[in-house]
Amino acid sequence: MSGFFERDLTDSGEVFTPTSESKSGWGDIVRGPAITALLARAIENVVAPRDADGQATADASGQTPAQDRQHASGSADRREKEGQAQLIPARTTFELHSPVPRRPLRTEVRILRDGRRLKLVEADLICGDSVYARARSVWLRPNDDADVSDNTPWHADRQFTTPGPGPWNPSNDRRLFRSADKPWSDQGWGHQDAGRKTVWQLPVPVVVGEFHSPYQVAATVADVTNLATGWGPEGLDFINADATLSLVRLPSRNEVGVQAIDRVDHDGIAIGTGVLFDEDGQFGTAQVTTILQPGGRIRFEDPETGAPNKLV
């Protein structure tokens, strides 16, 4: 069974051991999507916990999401409506400041603000006594009654192409690729060019045997924005220093895409921005701040000499 980590429950809490699927193309370290997804899992288990099958469970206050803040002021109908509107992880910034070793890891989570409409949560990824990555996430409560249709500002009218059912033969990265007007393919080599990139991420559970929540799906793809925006004719030269995930809703499927919409670089620092979408359309954006990895270019190999669907 696939997944980035094996989970063990010890006297001191959860311990996560990286699997072979967590190995980065940059070396014997944990890959970015595994890091962002594990931090998202830690945050979600405090704000909107689920069991291994994806069912809502009680949070730290003893309430399920459907019961959350039922004591809010107002009428009984309003309390019921607000209780049913689950918080959305509207913005999460992942600080990827240190290479994460492929050794047993643990997470620590702190609630910085626990409001009715806004929660601010921070999580650390720890190996031994050192923090290797950190995430800070703002969760907002949506308003199903909001109507500002009489005051709609400008927005891009984007149309997205999603891959068909296949059959596909992706590597353990579980990705499909599209460049400019080329069709979708599971072979990255055929898209190693200067065209605008779109990457479709097939599901990889964060923890072996666990449900892959919509938030974890989105967090996985946030890191992949670097591939969509920074991948050129000779491969990928920049590595993520951080990734910011912004959502107006959670993805409706466990397969999602990221399409490059902007990139700027100067003197070895680059910023890439991607739009996140599923079969129902756009649900958010992601932006990565990256730094040149000297001598560390990774690329898809020529099918005559290697694996054309895996970055090495």
- The DSSP-derived string for 16-60 is EEE-GGGEETTEEEE-HHHHHHHHHHHHHHHHS-B-TTS-B---T
pLDDT tens figures, 210-239: 988 999 999 999 999 999 999 999 999 999
The band of 71, judged by pLDDT with boundaries at 50, 70 and 90, is very low
pLDDT tens figures, 39-52: 999 999 999 887 66
pLDDT average, residue stretch 67-96: 60
Q: How many residues does the chain have?
A: 312
Kind and range of the H or E run holding 266 = strand 256-266
Nearby residues of 185 by Cβ (< 8 Å), 6 or more positions away: 176, 177, 178, 191
- Better-scored residue on pLDDT, 135 or 84: 135
**DSSP conformation class of 300:** B
Q: Which residue type occupies 244?
A: T
pLDDT of residue 146: 82
Return the ∠ at Cα 238 (arms to 232 and 240), rounded to 5°: 125
pTM: 0.88
Q: Give backbone dihedrals phi and psi of 25, rounded to 5 degrees, phi first.
A: -70, -15
pLDDT of residue 37: 97
Q: What does the mean pLDDT of the chain come to?
A: 87
Closest among 176, 159, 170 to 279, alpha carbons compared: 159
pLDDT average, residue stretch 82-86: 56
Q: Which residue type occupies 151?
A: N
Which range has the worst mean pLDDT, 6-10, 34-38, 294-298?
294-298
User: How many other C-beta atoms are found inside a 10 Å radius of the C-beta of residue 57?
Assistant: 11
Nearby residues of 126 by Cβ (< 8 Å), 6 or more positions away: 105, 106, 107, 108, 132
pLDDT tens figures, 176-209: 999 988 999 998 889 999 999 999 999 899 999 9
CA distances from 144 to 99, 147, 250, 269 (A): 41, 9, 15, 40
pLDDT of residue 307: 63
Residue 125 has pLDDT above 70, yes or no: yes
Nearby residues of 112 by Cβ (< 8 Å), 6 or more positions away: 120, 121, 122, 136
The band of 294, judged by pLDDT with boundaries at 50, 70 and 90, is confident
